[in-house]
């Protein structure tokens, strides 16, 4: 069995050639059209000497061309490298070099940045440029080739070499706490844990590479909207898994909450995937401001970032007939568990409480399984990544052996509950040590965002002569509101132990986040170092 991303898509293209595969902005394409254009692009890349194992940067917002680039690369057994479109020149220079790019596909609006970086990245020998309406940015000076010109005249046939489940996939992390790192996977392994190769609900592995397209034949297909940018793994795999099953993928060039609801109405979307509160909160509040038809909608799923209890409650109350799910995982671990959010059910204030996925366990510092009620590190066995690209030392730190089996430990802390469910507490590398107590920012952020005047918040540790670190919060008020700091402090202390309550608060116009919605803790730390807080807690017991 191939169990390869390109083969899995091609099975669907053969089974459903006339179904709409993708829609983005004012463009759409059937499976046959998407397959043909991806083949044309693959033939163009092959003519430039690009093939198995070569790395192609994708520096683009969501577009049909972005999906075509991913598929074309995998058809050639090449590797796509996701490039954050917010990066400035220094960040691009680092990533282009560290990822060993030989080619890059970028939107025309990024031409000036690419031109500045190319002299320092001699391995990068071929550039394709996607037209995005910014016609003033010249790319001829560095040999860029227009995307449509590259496809013109190329055969649309599929005549590529056989592929392998051992072909490589790379997902670069966002780098919110350091330089971006490329997580290296085999195609089969990443498909199993992120692309539906193991059923997310039952935990059962699919029988073969045709299982998803076979299921798609049993229906007319459904329409799925992925809200996150394709530079994020959650969006990539929401899109790829949908394509494997013969479903239609709807993407938006930019996240706009009202446009999401308009797209749901226009395309009769059934399933929406989002990334935590950063998307969930503006979406549900925009829904209340508009008049949108959501009769087609059956499910909304949050992945890979905090989806706080207060926001979940808004969704259940506003959309009572829609199934709301919360999934946990990371670039290093893949899918680790999921919960279905039901109206009236008690929600943990600590963090998401989920049913663990296959091979998901909690271990202590000696790599032993913890017992009910105990806290430890979240780990997953079975299909795991190979490690970090070009970083064997860092790779060694994320793998452990438990009962003779290899597990990946991405750095998340969790508690095993008495009923066997798992409560995710937060990332160890951003936890705060205050007077010897460990505080996970996500737990405090969820409580801050449940306060009536707070729209968004990030929590970090800042130096403190007495405590070592004190808990600090950067708060974005709701529009037109002012925060009563004493009332906010009381709100937190009613719900969490006193030592977890922020002792310094900064007010910001907008909380810093990655395009995916994940928190930018580097931005938060920098802000606290450059500005004085607007409020400090009185000298009370922690």
Cα separation, 316 vs 309, whole angstroms: 11
DSSP state of 500: G
Model pLDDT, residue 437: 86
Query: Is the Cβ–Cβ distance between 283 and 257 less than 8 Å?
Result: yes
The first and second tokens of residue 437, run together, are: 């107590």
Asked if pLDDT for residue 178 goes beyond 80, the answer is no
Asked if pLDDT for residue 347 goes beyond 70, the answer is no
**Three-class HEC string of 149-184:** HHHCCCCCCCCCCCCCCCCEEEEECCCCCCCCCEEE
Cα separation, 399 vs 465, whole angstroms: 36
Cα separation, 517 vs 327, whole angstroms: 15
Cα separation, 327 vs 30, whole angstroms: 30
Distances (CA, A) of 236 to 222, 397, 405, 514: 18, 26, 29, 16
Q: Are strands 101-107 and 126-130 parallel, antiparallel or unpaired?
A: parallel
Cα separation, 471 vs 477, whole angstroms: 19
Model pLDDT, residue 515: 81
Model pLDDT, residue 137: 75
Cα separation, 447 vs 489, whole angstroms: 10
pLDDT tens digits for range 383-420: 999 999 999 999 999 999 999 999 999 989 999 999 99
Q: What share of the chain is helix, strand, coil (3-state, %, to 5)?
A: 30, 25, 40
Model pLDDT, residue 201: 83
Asked if pLDDT for residue 181 goes beyond 50, the answer is yes
Question: For residue 455, how far is the Cα from the chain centroid?
Answer: 21
Cα separation, 513 vs 469, whole angstroms: 23
> Which runs of E-coded beta strand occur in 375-502?
375-380, 387-388, 399-402, 405-408, 412-416, 422-427, 432-434, 437-439, 454-464, 468-477
Cα separation, 362 vs 413, whole angstroms: 8
pLDDT tens digits for range 79-101: 999 999 988 899 899 999 999 99
Q: Which of 20-29, 250-259, 335-344 is the least confident region?
A: 335-344
pLDDT tens digits for range 416-454: 999 999 999 888 878 898 888 889 899 899 999 999 999
Q: Which of 102-116, 239-253, 279-293, 335-349 is the least confident region?
A: 335-349
The first and second tokens of residue 246, run together, are: 């013969």
Model pLDDT, residue 427: 81
Query: Is the Cβ–Cβ distance between 392 and 374 less than 8 Å?
Result: no
Give the pLDDT band (50/70/90) at residue 344: low
DSSP state of 100: T
Asked if pLDDT for residue 542 goes beyond 60, the answer is no
Radius of gyration of the chain (CA): 23
Question: Mean pLDDT throughout 66-77?
Answer: 98
Give the pLDDT band (50/70/90) at residue 4: very high
Strand partners, 473: 459, 505
**Most confident range, picked from 44-58, 294-308, 503-517:** 44-58
Asked if pLDDT for residue 176 goes beyond 80, the answer is no
The model's pTM is 0.89
Q: Which secondary structure element, helix H or strand E, spans residue 309, and what is its range?
A: helix 309-318
Model pLDDT, residue 393: 93
Question: Mean pLDDT throughout 49-71?
Answer: 98
Q: Which domains does the chain show, CATH number per domain?
A: 5-201 (3.40.50.12780), 255-430 (3.40.50.12780), 433-536 (3.30.300.30)
3-state secondary structure of 249: strand
Backbone φ and ψ for 83, nearest 5 degrees, come out as -115, 120
Q: Are strands 79-82 and 55-59 parallel, antiparallel or unpaired?
A: parallel
Model pLDDT, residue 177: 47
3-state secondary structure of 521: helix
Question: For residue 312, how far is the Cα from the chain centroid?
Answer: 19
Distances (CA, A) of 533 to 172, 255, 507, 527: 34, 31, 8, 10
Give the pLDDT band (50/70/90) at residue 518: confident
pLDDT tens digits for range 194-251: 999 999 888 899 999 999 999 898 888 899 999 999 999 999 999 999 999 999 999 9
Q: Which residue is it, tokens 């790192």?
A: 181
Q: How many CA atoms lie within 13 A of 114 on its CB side?
A: 32
Strand partners, 329: 335
Model pLDDT, residue 455: 95
Model pLDDT, residue 278: 87
- Label residues 352-368 b or e (16+ Cβ within 10 Å = b): bbbebbbbbbbbeeeee
Asked if pLDDT for residue 173 goes beyond 90, the answer is no
Residue 478, judged by CB atoms within 10 A of its CB (0-12, 13-18, 19+), counts as: middle
Mean confidence (pLDDT) of the chain? 93
Query: Is the Cβ–Cβ distance between 431 and 499 less than 8 Å?
Result: no
């Amino acid at each position: 069995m191939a169990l390869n991303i390109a083969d899995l898509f091609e099975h669907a293209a053969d089974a459903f050639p006339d179904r709409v595969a993708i829609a983005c902005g004012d463009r759409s394409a059937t499976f046959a059209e998407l397959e043909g254009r991806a083949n044309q692009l693959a033939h163009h890349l092959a003519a430039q000497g690009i093939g198995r194992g070569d790395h192609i940067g994708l520096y683009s917002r969501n577009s049909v061309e972005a999906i075509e680039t991913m598929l074309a690369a995998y058809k050639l057994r090449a590797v796509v490298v996701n490039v954050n479109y917010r990066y400035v020149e220094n960040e691009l220079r680092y990533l282009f070099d560290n990822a060993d790019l030989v080619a890059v596909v970028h939107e025309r609006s990024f031409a000036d940045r690419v031109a500045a970086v190319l002299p320092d990245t001699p391995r990068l020998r071929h550039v394709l440029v996607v037209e995005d309406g910014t016609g003033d940015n010249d790319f001829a000076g560095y040999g860029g080739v227009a995307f449509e010109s590259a496809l013109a005249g190329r055969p649309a046939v599929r005549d590529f070499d056989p592929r392998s489940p051992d072909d490589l996939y790379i997902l670069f992390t966002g780098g919110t706490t350091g330089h971006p790192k490329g997580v290296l996977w085999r195609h089969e392994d990443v498909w199993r844990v992120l692309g539906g190769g193991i059923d997310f609900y039952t935990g059962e592995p699919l029988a073969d590479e045709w299982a998803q397209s076979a299921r798609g034949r049993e229906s007319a297909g459904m329409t799925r909207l992925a809200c996150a940018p394709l530079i994020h793994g959650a969006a990539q795999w929401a899109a790829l898994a949908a394509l494997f099953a013969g479903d239609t993928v709807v993407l938006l060039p930019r996240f706009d909450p009202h446009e999401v609801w308009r797209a749901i109405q226009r395309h009769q979307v059934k399933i929406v995937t989002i990334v935590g509160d950063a998307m969930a909160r503006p979406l549900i509040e925009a829904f209340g401001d508009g008049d949108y038809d959501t009769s087609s909608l059956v499910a909304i799923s949050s992945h890979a970032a905090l989806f706080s209890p207060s926001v979940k409650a808004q969704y259940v109350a506003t959309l009572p007939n829609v199934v709301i799910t919360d999934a946990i995982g990371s670039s290093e671990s893949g899918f680790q568990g999921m919960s279905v959010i039901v109206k009236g059910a008690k929600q943990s204030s600590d963090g998401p409480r989920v049913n663990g996925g296959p091979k998901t366990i909690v271990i202590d510092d000696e790599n032993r399984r913890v017992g009910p009620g105990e806290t430890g590190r979240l780990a997953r066995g079975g299909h795991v990544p190979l490690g970090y690209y070009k970083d064997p030392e860092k790779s060694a730190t994320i793998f452990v052996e438990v009962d003779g089996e290899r597990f990946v430990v991405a750095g998340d802390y969790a508690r095993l509950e008495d009923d066997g469910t798992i409560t995710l507490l937060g990332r160890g590398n951003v936890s705060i040590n205050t007077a010897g107590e460990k505080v996970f920012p996500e737990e405090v952020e969820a409580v801050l965002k449940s306060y009536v005047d707070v729209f968004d918040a990030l929590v970090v540790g800042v130096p403190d002569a007495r405590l070592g670190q004190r808990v600090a919060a950067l708060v974005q008020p709701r529009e037109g509101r002012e925060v009563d700091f004493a009332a906010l402090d009381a709100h937190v202390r009613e719900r969490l132990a006193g030592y977890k309550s922020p002792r310094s608060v900064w007010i910001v116009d907008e909380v810093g986040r990655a395009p995916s919605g994940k928190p930018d803790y580097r931005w938060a730390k920098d802000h606290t170092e450059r500005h004085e807080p607007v409020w400090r807690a009185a000298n009370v017991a922690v």
